[in-house]
């Protein structure tokens, strides 16, 4: 079947949990033996895999009818070069959408939920059957898009990393991070479990859990009932929030700078004092990180680009 247009469509897919198990144990039979030997339900992995593979096949059929289709596995994202006019369709979990956005330069993204009965899909407002009407409307730019602000860490050696949900700055393992932090003209030496920088999109995730823990501890110490703190802010906000995890007060380290706002007029600056194992990674992808060891200074600000989600 010839496509109706010459528009380029990139369909982003991922491996299922079953695919990962087969990679680990070589065959599905061996994976089944391992899972069932532990008393777990292997059919859940099979059902999820089957639903996802069916969704991929259906999406490919629809998309290839509307334009020139290329299917891209998530693992190849960091090295793939997207064209400025490419339309990107993400078939998978919310985390896959977030992971894709940081590798784009404001190309429009359509988030598709392959399994609505299993996935909540905050970033997946569409199902596969919607694609037939969505593609012509997207090509003609008749759809609305929602801007998604990103965080960016720029190192003094020229390296950069963006985060759609959040950035983590700290130790690679469960040890203390040593660094100097500067915010709003105030500087302080820290020993902590690291720093979380959250975007509006990520504010209902890691940041919310940090605030919930902090308010719960405070309430317990005061003999009060904990109150849920509203952490969420707009996806396209022109600011970020940062929170320091478990700061340690000592003779040489303080804990006055523990929470605040980052803007492009007031960035956050962090200088590493760790001999080794310091890292900065984004969106929970620990394997994709920048080294953050002694002598490295990171400037945290809003990224110049924004993600563009079709709604």
User: 167: domain range?
Assistant: 151-303
Residues 133 and 157 in one domain: no
Question: Is 284 within 8 Å of 251 (Cβ atoms)?
Answer: no
Please list the pLDDT of the chain residue by residue as tens digits (311 residues): 667 788 999 999 999 999 999 999 999 999 999 999 999 999 999 999 999 999 999 999 999 999 999 999 999 998 999 999 999 999 999 889 999 999 999 999 999 999 999 988 889 999 999 999 999 999 999 999 999 999 999 999 999 999 999 999 999 988 899 999 999 999 999 999 999 999 999 998 889 888 888 888 888 998 888 776 678 899 999 999 999 999 999 999 999 999 999 999 999 999 999 999 999 999 988 888 999 999 999 999 999 999 999 99
Final residue in a domain of this structure, among 92, 125, 143: 143
Residues 292 and 164 in one domain: yes
Final residue in a domain of this structure, among 124, 143, 162: 143
Supply the angle between the helices 17-25 and 28-37 in degrees, to the nearest 10: 100
- Residue 16 forms part of a structural domain: yes
Q: What is the DSSP string of 181-211?
A: EEETTEEEEEEESEEEEE-TGGGGTHHHHHH
- Residue 2 forms part of a structural domain: no
- Residue 1 forms part of a structural domain: no
Residues 236 and 289 in one domain: yes
Final residue in a domain of this structure, among 143, 161, 178: 143
pLDDT at 229: 67
- Residue 210 forms part of a structural domain: yes
Cα separation, 205 vs 197, in Å, equals 11
Angle at 90 between CA 289 and CA 21, to 5 degrees: 65
- Residue 3 forms part of a structural domain: no
Residues 137 and 51 in one domain: yes
- Residue 189 forms part of a structural domain: yes
Please give the tally of structural domains in the chain: 2
pLDDT at 238: 96
Cα separation, 35 vs 32, in Å, equals 5
Residues 266 and 183 in one domain: yes
Question: Is 186 within 8 Å of 178 (Cβ atoms)?
Answer: no
Cα separation, 155 vs 166, in Å, equals 17
Two tokens at 59? 């999406």
pLDDT at 6: 86
208, 231, 230, 227: which is closest to 218 by C-alpha? 227
- Residue 309 forms part of a structural domain: no
């Amino acid at each position: 079947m010839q496509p109706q247009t010459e528009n380029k469509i990139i369909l982003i897919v991922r491996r299922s949990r079953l695919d990962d198990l087969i990679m680990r144990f070589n065959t599905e039979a061996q994976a089944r033996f391992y899972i069932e030997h532990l008393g777990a339900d292997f059919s859940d992995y099979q059902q999820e895999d089957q639903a996802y593979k069916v969704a991929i096949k259906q999406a490919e059929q629809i998309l290839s009818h509307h334009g020139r289709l290329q299917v891209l596995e998530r693992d190849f994202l960091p090295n793939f070069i997207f064209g400025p006019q490419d339309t990107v369709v993400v078939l998978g979990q919310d985390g896959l959408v977030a992971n894709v956005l940081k590798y784009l330069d404001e190309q429009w993204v359509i988030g598709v939920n392959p399994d609505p009965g299993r996935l909540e899909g905050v970033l997946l407002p569409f199902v596969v059957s919607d694609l037939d009407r969505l593609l012509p409307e997207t090509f003609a730019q008749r759809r609305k898009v929602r801007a998604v602000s990103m965080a960016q860490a720029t190192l003094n050696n020229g390296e950069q990393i963006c985060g759609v949900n959040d950035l983590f700055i700290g130790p690679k393992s469960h040890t203390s991070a040593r660094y100097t932090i500067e915010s709003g003209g105030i500087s302080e030496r820290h020993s902590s479990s690291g720093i979380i920088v959250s975007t509006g999109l990520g504010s209902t995730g890691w940041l919310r859990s940090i605030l919930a823990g902090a308010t719960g501890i405070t309430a317990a110490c005061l003999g009060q009932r904990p109150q849920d703190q509203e952490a969420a802010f707009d996806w396209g906000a022109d600011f970020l929030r940062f929170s320091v995890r478990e700061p340690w007060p000592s003779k040489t380290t303080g804990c006055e700078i523990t929470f605040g706002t980052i803007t492009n007029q007031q960035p956050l600056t962090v200088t590493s004092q760790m001999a080794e194992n310091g890292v900065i990674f984004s969106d929970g992808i620990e394997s994709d990180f920048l080294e953050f060891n002694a002598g490295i200074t990171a400037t945290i600000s809003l990224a110049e680009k924004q993600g563009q989600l079709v709604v």
